[in-house]
């Protein structure tokens, strides 16, 4: 068992190293590692918070308010000169008398030394200590009727959240389309690498045959040189394809969020034929509109502008709100002036009725209606553009499939033509130009078959995207 476990571990590691990655796996890796998708998910989360914020406007709001003031002077309700009686000297008593009622001639005799104390006592009684003042209260506000503004704002935030989800899904589709494009490009270049290797192998074999024929004196050195040129061209073409394959693997790894220096082996590499099937030509545009995320987002955007017009209209309508508060102050005057906290409460209602704003509110509403009409027209234009886009994509797919069918027929012809040309060249019944032309035609037929096959796959992916049928 001690020998078996290390062996199994080594087999597992080896299997992991050569494990092939499918297209679905590449998609999942791209969705998991893409930063733009994470940003869109955060925007959806933000929209959810905004929707909850708008919904809270239906419920009463409770606020606490606290205030502290330090005044430089106290408040006095009377001037000291207003309470100082009029004095006159009374020779009979030898004192100063203070007139209480000058018209009646009634006087009050008070010793002069007590005048200041008497007036100051009255002054102090009407002077309040307001240098340090405290006030606090709790205010409760319950909207009753806001002209439909709260309801409209709630709908706007709900639509905005749905739009965020649709835009996220649209970016997901764009990402998957790019991943598919990079995936099939790698598959295409891998197939062309095998084709370039096969072509180089054929040209090398032809070069060896020509050398043997030259040794036997049945051909010329010029023929050998022309074949050598084709061999060198085949080597250069193979090097270009290999370099392109390395770069395309790195581009796919970048989209998938994988290390660039760790090439991924794809499940469709090396396959002779891909799963190519013909789509039906008929397309139901009503279903396309329902499935397209961007069009659905545009429809919701139109609804948002309709609700914005209602918000503008609400500013021309009356609003009603109930209010209630509990408050305290120090000092307070509920039972004389006292330096202590006194409490009170109040309940009531607030009504606001717009009367005249020189057309400002009505013009704002009309402008919002125009914005809504513009969005409606943009949506109708978008429907036309989507119809054109779908029609073009469908035609392109049908043409790509027809081209693919033609290349399969041409491939059989090119293979047979190459076999006959090589046989005739070895028998001396054809020239070197003819056999080289047969090799070139063979290479072109196989290359066109690869291009047509990949083109069908890419047109299928694009058609799925414009039809809103991409699944992930």
SS (HEC) of the chain: CCCHHHHHHHHHHHHHHCCEECHHHHHHHHHHHCHHHHHHHHHHHHHHHHHHHHHHHHCCEEEEEEEEEECCCCEECCCHHHCCCEEEEECCCCEEEEEEECCCCEEEECCHHHHHHHHHHHHHHCEECCCEEEEEEEEEEEEEECCCHHHHHHHHHHHHHHHHHHHHHHHHHHHHHHHHHHHHHHHHHHHHHHHHHHHHHHHHHHHHHHHHHHHHCCCCHHHHHHHHHHHHHHHHHHHHHHHHHHHHHHHHHHHHCCCCCCCCEECCCCCCCCCCCCCCCCCCHHHHHHHCHHHHHHHHHHHHHHHHHHHHHHCCCCEEEEEEEEEEEECECECECECCCEEEEEEEEEEECCCCCCCHHHHHHHHHHHHHHHHHHHHHHHHHHHHHHHHHHHHHHHHHHHHHHHHHHHHHHHHHHHHHHHHHHHCCCCCHHHHHHHHHHHHHHHHHHHHHHHHHHHHHHHHHHHHCCCCC
Three-state SS string across 77-107, please?
A: CCCHHHCCCEEEEECCCCEEEEEEECCCCEE
Cα–Cα distance for residue pair 442/420, rounded to 1 Å: 12
Q: Check if the beta carbon of residue 267 is closer than 8 Å to that of residue 23.
A: yes
Cα separation, 375 vs 378, in Å, equals 5
Overall residue count recorded for the chain in this entry: 472
CA 78 to CA 425: how far, in whole Å?
131
Of the candidates 143, 60, 139, the one whose C-alpha atom is nearest the C-alpha of residue 320 is: 143
CA-wise closest residue to 282 among 195, 409, 422, 397: 397
Q: 64 is written with which tokens?
A: 């606490």
Task: Report whether 174 contacts 226 (CB < 8 A).
Answer: no
Dist. CA 199–CA 441, nearest whole Å: 11
Query: Which residues are CB-contacts of 423 (< 8 A; sequence separation ≥ 6)?
Result: none
Residue 319: strand pairing partners? 352
**How far is Cα 129 from Cα 46, in angstroms, rounded to an integer?**
51
Structure tokens at 212: 């043997």
Residue listed under structure tokens 């005739």: 424
Asked if 134 and 330 touch (Cβ cutoff 8 Å), the reply is yes
User: How does pLDDT run across 37-76, given as a tens digit for each residue?
Assistant: 999 999 999 999 999 999 999 999 999 999 999 988 887 7
Burial of 377 per CB tally in 10 Å (0-12, 13-18, 19+): exposed
Distance of CA 56 to the CA centre of its chain: 25
Name the token pair of 245: 């394959």
At residue 89, the pLDDT reads 53
Evaluate whether 147 touches 270 at the Cβ level (below 8 Å). no
Taking the mean position of all CA atoms in its chain, how far away is CA 387? 25
Residue 64 pairs in a beta bridge with 138
Low-confidence stretches of the chain (pLDDT < 70) are 1-19, 78-125, 472
CA distance 250 to 243: 11
* Spatial separation of the C-alpha atoms in residues 180 and 472, rounded to whole Å: 12
> According to the model, what pLDDT value does residue 4 have?
46
Long-range contacts at 419-428 (CB < 8 A, ≥ 24 apart): 422/206, 425/209, 426/209, 428/218
pLDDT in tens, 413-435: 999 998 998 888 887 787 888 88
Rounded Cα distance, 192 and 200, in Å:
12
Bridge partners (DSSP) of residue 324 are 140, 347
């Amino acid at each position: 068992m001690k020998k078996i476990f290390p062996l199994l571990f080594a087999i597992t590691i080896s299997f992991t190293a050569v494990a092939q990655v499918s297209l679905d796996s590449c998609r999942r890796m791209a969705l998991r590692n893409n930063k733009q998708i994470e940003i869109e998910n955060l925007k959806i989360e933000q929209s959810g918070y905004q929707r909850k914020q708008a919904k809270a406007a239906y419920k009463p709001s409770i606020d606490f308010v606290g205030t502290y003031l330090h005044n430089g002077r106290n408040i006095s309700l009377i001037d000291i000169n207003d309470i100082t009686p009029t004095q006159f000297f009374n020779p009979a008593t030898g004192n100063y008398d203070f007139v209480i009622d000058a018209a009646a001639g009634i006087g009050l005799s008070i010793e002069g030394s007590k005048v200041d104390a008497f007036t100051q006592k009255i002054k102090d009684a009407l002077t309040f200590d307001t240098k340090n003042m405290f006030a606090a209260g709790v205010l409760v506000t319950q909207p009753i009727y806001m002209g439909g503004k709260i309801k409209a704002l709630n709908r706007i935030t709900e639509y905005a959240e749905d739009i965020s989800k649709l835009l996220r899904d649209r970016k997901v589709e764009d990402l998957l389309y790019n991943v598919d494009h990079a995936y099939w490009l790698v598959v295409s270049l891998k197939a062309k690498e095998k084709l370039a290797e096969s072509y180089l192998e054929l040209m090398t074999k032809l070069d060896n045959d020509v050398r043997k024929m030259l040794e036997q004196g049945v051909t010329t050195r010029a023929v050998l040189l022309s074949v050598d040129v084709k061999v060198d061209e085949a080597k250069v073409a193979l090097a270009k394809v290999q370099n392109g394959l390395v770069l395309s693997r790195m581009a796919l790894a970048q989209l998938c969020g994988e290390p660039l220096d760790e090439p991924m082996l794809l499940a469709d590499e090396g396959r002779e034929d891909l799963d190519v099937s013909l789509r039906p030509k008929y397309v139901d545009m009503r279903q396309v509109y329902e499935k397209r995320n961007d069009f659905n987002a545009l429809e919701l955007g139109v609804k948002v502008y309709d609700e914005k017009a209602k918000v503008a209209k609400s500013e021309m309508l009356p609003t009603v709100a109930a209010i209630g508060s509990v408050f305290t102050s120090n000092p307070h005057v509920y039972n004389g002036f006292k330096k202590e906290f006194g409490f009170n409460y109040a309940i009531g209602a607030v009504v606001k009725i717009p009367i005249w704003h020189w057309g400002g509110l009505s013009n704002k509403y009309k402008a919002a209606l125009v914005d809504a009409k513009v969005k409606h027209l943009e949506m109708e234009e978008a429907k036309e553009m989507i119809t054109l886009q779908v029609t073009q994509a469908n035609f392109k797919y049908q043409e790509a499939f027809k081209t693919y069918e033609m290349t399969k027929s041409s491939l059989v012809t090119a293979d047979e033509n190459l076999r006959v040309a090589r046989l005739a060249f070895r028998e001396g019944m054809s020239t070197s130009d003819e056999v080289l032309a047969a090799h070139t035609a063979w290479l072109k037929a196989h290359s066109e078959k690869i291009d047509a096959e990949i083109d069908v796959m890419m047109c299928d992916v694009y058609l799925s995207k414009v039809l809103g049928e991409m699944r992930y």
